[in-house]
Structure 1
């Protein structure tokens, strides 16, 4: 970092336009546009598929908080995954702040051309180091879902599913996901 550069601060996020998502990773401000419709559809569809059985306990085991775009304060990093989930046994109540300091048990990033590199190269290692147990990466353009488990702060690929696959995927293997519902035709 040169003398003219400075570390990004939380206040820098407030100056961003409404159509931009900002994150602070390793002291640097990263921005990207709000999600495109295919990206938003995949995230929203997955949130519905997981939210009813896991967050609300309708037709499933319950026991989770499933949230869209939560602001995570993980050490000095401020990250905004597309979806995140916390087991209620680890976080019995939602925080009173607008952000979360408890690392989620699961995160999901929906990849786009504007975010794929940041999601994979910068954010994934930070999620692992923070103790996130599971991570899913969804690519709506090529219609795939990759699932990972945290093994000693490194990601182990559990599997890749795509297209019209129907699957039971950890940590939500108690239900069957129909991936076809995530994609826009």
Structure 2
């Protein structure tokens, strides 16, 4: 198995194919293709970890912020009526849609927000097929973080299509939808 080599037999990948992915890799099924990626590099992991920490208090736990969200690192998403199995870096559900976290290994309810931290090995999947799958599932907000270029790109789903909502680069405080109630310290994502 290599990066995006599919199931290798001319057939769509299945959930059983995911069981053969080594624990040192991340396996996903994206539009019928088995995609195996290396574990994220340190700057990728740092950006995702920092973002999760910054959003947890005010949005998940409601400390010094509005609350109302359930935010998870690397949840496995398998949407009803789809053979896809995606693992975003972060995902969030509004509590009115998911009041309690289900005790399941995968989530079938589409998140309201997804964040993908881009890397050379995942960029083409994140910006192409995964975007299409998220749109079909009805995810409302999609963030791309570029840790090497120090950028945050926000897309909003409107009438089934992604539209660029805003771009934030470098340092400073930003109001990043849908978490714009509390300013986000952008440069915290790039700290080493």
Under a length normalisation based on structure 2, what TM-score does the superposition of the two structures give? 0.92
**Residue 17 (structure 1) aligned to one of 10, 17, 22:** 22
C-alpha displacement of 1:128? 1.1
More strand by share: 1
Q: How many Å separate the matches in 2 of 1:150 and 1:171?
A: 12
Q: Distance in 2 between matches of 1:52 and 1:130?
A: 27
Q: Is the 8 A contact 2:77 2:85 kept in 1?
A: yes
| CA shift for structure 1 position 92 | 1.2
Aligned to 1:137: 144
DSSP-derived class of the 2:128 partner: helix
- 1:153 corresponds in structure 2 to 160
Q: Who is 1:57 aligned against?
A: 62
Tell me how large the CA RMSD over aligned residues is: 1.4
The answer to whether the 8 Å contact 1:125/1:153 transfers is no
Question: How is 1:73-84 mapped onto 2 (pairs within 5 angstroms)?
Answer: 73-74=78-79, 75-84=82-91
Residue 32 of structure 1 corresponds to 37
Which ranges in structure 1 are unaligned for 5 or more consecutive residues?
A: none
CA deviation digits over 1:72-97, x for unaligned, max 9? 00221110100000001001111221
Aligned to 2:119: 112
> Shift of the alpha carbon at 1:5?
1.6
* Partners of 1:148 and 1:165 in 2: CA distance: 20
Structure 2, unaligned runs of 5 or more = 1-5
Task: Give me the whole-angstrom Cα distance separating, in 1, the residues matched to 2:154 and 2:25.
Answer: 27
Q: TM-score, normalised by structure 1?
A: 0.96
